[in-house]
Amino acid sequence: MHRTLDVPDLAATEAFGRRLGELLFPGAVVALVGPLGAGKTHLVRAVAEGLGVKNPAAVTSPTFVLIQEYPARLPVYHFDAYRLSGPREFAELGADEYFAGDGVCLVEWADKVEVTLPAEHLRITITVVDESRRRFNLAALGARYEAVVRNMGRGSGPGADAPSGGSRPEPPEGAGSA
Ligand SMILES: Nc1ncnc2c1ncn2[C@@H]1O[C@H](COP(=O)(O)OP(=O)(O)O)[C@@H](O)[C@H]1O
Ligand SMILES: [Mg+2]
């Protein structure tokens, strides 16, 4: 299941991230793809906030430590593959064990470690449209992630309806698209 969102500004990224954090489940894996400055780290911070991290300001790019962990409703594991030589090094860090655990894994530069990711995950590809505007391409791989994406625009919470501009409604379940 794919969905494209028009994200007009940083506040919309933050609202989206907080809502996503509310919806994620134990063992969830979120792959973030996009160039430097796309907003991957800001998005992770908002997701962590949605998961109830006490001090979201402490969520920064883990470029130099590769993995950061934050306690929250579910433990948050924040990876940055930017400086990794490749999937093998990522695997040697124990990525599999994190993915198989009960926390939420968020992976910046996920395209660099593609083959180590579990088959089922949520992929968010960020395109920079202009200084503040982004496009999020969401690919929900697996039924649990499809449910999350379907619920992104629903329910309560500040991010429930934002960002809404530009999102395409999904056909009802079973309508035929894989
Ligand atoms: N809509 C937006 N979403 C996310 N970041 C944005 C947005 N608009 C502007 N920005 C800016 O872009 C930069 C994104 O930085 P960061 O999250 O560290 O990117 P990345 O981790 O992808 O390299 C920040 O300076 C942020 O203020
Ligand atoms: Mg970053």
Ligand 1 centroid–CA 38 distance in Å is 5
Ligand 2 centroid–CA 36 distance in Å is 7
Strand partners, 136: 5, 126
The reported pLDDT for the residue numbered 67 is 87
Ligand 1 atom 7: the closest Cα is on which residue?
Answer: 10
Ligand 1 pocket, mutate which of 6, 41, 42 (most atoms under 8 A from CB): 42
Residue 101 belongs to some domain of the structure:
yes
Nearest to 13 by CA among 34, 33, 37, 42: 42
Residue 171 belongs to some domain of the structure:
no
> What would the pLDDT profile of 80-134 be if each residue is shown by its tens digit?
999 888 899 999 989 999 999 999 999 999 999 999 999 999 999 999 999 999 9
Residue 174 belongs to some domain of the structure:
no
CA angle 49, 50, 55 (to 5 degrees): 15
The β-bridge relationship of strands 29-33 and 104-108 is: parallel
Residue 170 belongs to some domain of the structure:
no
Residue 68 belongs to some domain of the structure:
yes
Residue 52 belongs to some domain of the structure:
yes
> What would the pLDDT profile of 148-166 be if each residue is shown by its tens digit?
999 997 754 444 444 544 4
The reported pLDDT for the residue numbered 64 is 64
CA angle 110, 112, 118 (to 5 degrees): 50
Residue 107 belongs to some domain of the structure:
yes
Give the span between the Cα atoms of 132 and 90, in whole angstroms. 31
Domain that holds residue 94: 2-158
Could you tell me if the CB of 129 is within 6 A of ligand 1? no
The reported pLDDT for the residue numbered 60 is 86
Q: What is the mean pLDDT of residues 58-85?
A: 87
Could you tell me if the CB of 34 is within 6 A of ligand 1? yes
The reported pLDDT for the residue numbered 44 is 97
For residue 147, with 0-12 CB atoms within 10 Å meaning exposed, 13-18 middle and 19 or more buried, which class applies? middle
Could you tell me if the CB of 39 is within 6 A of ligand 1? yes
Residue 168 belongs to some domain of the structure:
no
Number of domains in the chain: 1
CATH number at 82 reads: 3.40.50.300
